[in-house]
Chains A and B, each alone.
Chain A
Amino acid sequence: MMKSTKSTEPIRVGVLFSETGVTSVIEESERMGTLLAIQEVNDAGGINGRELQAVSYDPASRPAKFAALAEKLILEDRVHVILGCYMSSTRKAVIPVVERWNALLMYPTLYEGFEYSRNVIYTGAAPNQNSVQLAEFMLREFGSRVFMVGSDYIYPYESNRIMSDLILERGGEKVGETYLPLDAPWEDYLAVAKKIKQAAPDFIFSTVVGDGTALLHRAYAQLKLDPADMPIASLTTCEAEIKQMGADIAEGHITSAPYFQSIATDENRLCVARCKARFGNDIVTNQCWEAAYFQAHLLASAMRRMNCDSVPDLLRALPGSEFAAPQGKVRIDEHNHHTYLRPRIGRAIANGQFDIIEEARHWVRPDPYLVSHTLQDWSARVQAHSR
């Protein structure tokens, strides 16, 4: 591929987040984080004077559409870098495309691990940065009898395997495990909630994603189950899902994530304020928004340093690079292309935000190929966060 040499020509990047379909709510917020960062880059002079331009399409939460649009971005729009994907099935569809054309995908979503591609940078949490922390917290605070409910695709299966191992290791018990199609109707969630009520676990581990998250919480609330007694623990239910479902039915449930909107640092407050100024006062931020935001900044600073957007150059600059993100400092690991992140546990409160009840003292190195997790690792690093 020829490098553009004109120093005033804009640099285009592909943006692939669904604006329609089952996971559009969270993907819209990833798009928002991406566009905010791109605007900030341009306000600060772009890539050494060149404008950073987003070319954005709607892949409609469908893997095949993701693959087709990734190819279109690379071949027709001539982008070298794509910022995008939420569900693992959509990332898996895009990877062969970026590998074939030697493009770069930056993926801002937590996922189940066991992947490395030289053509992908992963900026969401790996299981050793969210699952272990969640298991440790739930087992300590609520007990070891768990009911697992997930959407029927790869991420829930692998997340549940990790959670099962951690729970069995502690002598805990899995009292139920059930998977629902991504587009399952309300009645299915109600049936699951009834099963949960009957099994009376200590907590529920939910790997339901997309619109189903709201349905699960609504079914839970309808059966008058009590979050103080038997909360839903999740790695994916964040501020965007809560806004979609209504804060009243989210209150009291637990989420493990490296970022919450309520993080009380100046960097975060200012960043949230800038986002509201651009997209409206009623928007909420969340872990996926934040990863989408900081990965675009990491990309821009790599482009500035190499003074181009060629993938071989970016792959020299990105690994090992750091950024002061809203969650604190983050860093891309040189060896596995995942990101050092700071694990946190939040409890949803009445205003649709999270009370951060625990956070790691330091960032945690990503370890996407860790098969057996141990609970010890994290408990040594947590500190109670009293508010």
Chain B
Amino acid sequence: MKSGGTSRLLRELRSLRVVVFHPDDQDGQELIGQLGRIGCQVKAFWPPLDKLPEEADLVFFAMRPEILSMDLPWLRREGSPPVIPVVTYENPVIVEAVLQLNAFSVIASPVKSFGLLTAIAVAVSQAEKSRTREKYVVRLEQRLTAQRKIAKAKAILMTSRHMSEEEAYDLIRNRAMTKRVTTEEIADAVIKANEILGFDVKG
């Protein structure tokens, strides 16, 4: 488990902007006190705001029964910062609500100073990984769609122009290069033209 230097995430803990949605009670004070010791920049509100303050990197969220009926659009929005729920109840209703937050770590009441740093590190690091993974999936999906279109366009050209697969692909690629567009767009055009003009109808 040896590693080189201290990771960027840990080094940047003190620039982390943390929003705390928690009542001003003993748990809330313990939470804010420990965030202060760690050195994060903290803003605290209760009840939760329907709009997140600008540039929040992490949100602590008290899972109180009264928040169940609230509509907080930022909670499920893509690109929202990771949320660490603070749980006081452990009944199925609350657990279900925690699951919907897509949380990577959880703090239990009574809040203790110990464990908070690890919870923050895990939540921020997993959220970062999850965002990277989501972007990667989107890119893969796009690439897959493009591949499917190109395959279809090649098939059209092979049938209608009696080309080999390689010739069909070269044609698509050359057109893309001269017109300075992607091969996917050329493939799209071939498919559309075929749908309208019916190239593949053998004459």
Contacts and interface: CB of A to CB of B under 8 A. Distances in A.
Contact of B13 (A115, A117, A168, A371): A371
Interface stretch (B35-43, B45-53, B155-163): B35-43
Interface in A156-212: 161, 164-165, 168
Contacts of A114: 117
A118 B113 contact: yes
Contacts of B14: 371-372
Contacts of B37: 116, 335-336, 368-369
B80 interface: no
A370 interface: yes
A129 B13 CA distance: 20
A117 B115 CA distance: 11
Contacts of A367: 39
Given A114-B117, A335-B33, A369 B38 contact: yes
B73 interface: no
Nearest to B116: A116
Contacts of B11: 371-372
Interface residues of B, number: 15
Contacts of B113: 116-118
Interface string B147-177: 0000000000000000000000000000000
Interface of B: 5-6, 10-11, 13-14, 33-34, 36-39, 113-114, 117
B3 to A, nearest CB: 9
B39 A370 contact: yes
* Among all A-B residue pairs, the 9 with the closest Cβ atoms: A372-B11, A369-B38, A116-B113, A371-B10, A336-B37, A369-B37, A165-B6, A116-B37, A371-B11
* B interface secondary structure, majority: helix
Contacts, number: 33
Contact of A371 (B6, B33, B36): B6
A164 B117 contact: no
* A interface secondary structure, majority: loop
Interface of A: 114-118, 161, 164-165, 168, 335-336, 367-372
A118 B13 CA distance: 22
Given A114-B117, A117-B114, A118-B113, A372 B33 contact: no
26 contacts: A115-B114, A116-B34, A116-B37, A116-B114, A117-B113, A117-B114, A118-B113, A164-B5, A165-B6, A168-B5, A335-B36, A335-B37, A336-B37, A367-B39, A369-B37, A369-B38, A369-B39, A369-B117, A370-B39, A371-B6, A371-B10, A371-B11, A371-B14, A372-B6, A372-B11, A372-B14
Contacts of A168: 5
A206 to B, nearest CB: 19
A311 to B, nearest CB: 16
Contacts of B38: 369
Nearest to B2: A177
B33 A161 contact: no
Nearest to A174: B4
Nearest to B114: A117
A290 B61 CA distance: 44
A370 B11 CA distance: 9
A161 B6 contact: yes
Given A335-B33, A371-B10, A371-B11, 19 more contacts: A116-B34, A116-B37, A116-B113, A118-B113, A161-B6, A165-B6, A168-B5, A335-B37, A336-B37, A368-B37, A369-B37, A369-B38, A369-B117, A370-B39, A371-B6, A371-B13, A371-B14, A372-B6, A372-B11
B117 A165 contact: no
B197 to A, nearest CB: 65
A257 B113 CA distance: 28
Nearest to A164: B5
A164 B34 CA distance: 26
Nearest to A162: B6
Nearest to A337: B37
Contacts of B13: 371
A299 to B, nearest CB: 22
A305 to B, nearest CB: 23
Contacts of A164: 5
Contact of B5 (A115, A117, A165, A335): A165
Contacts of B36: 335
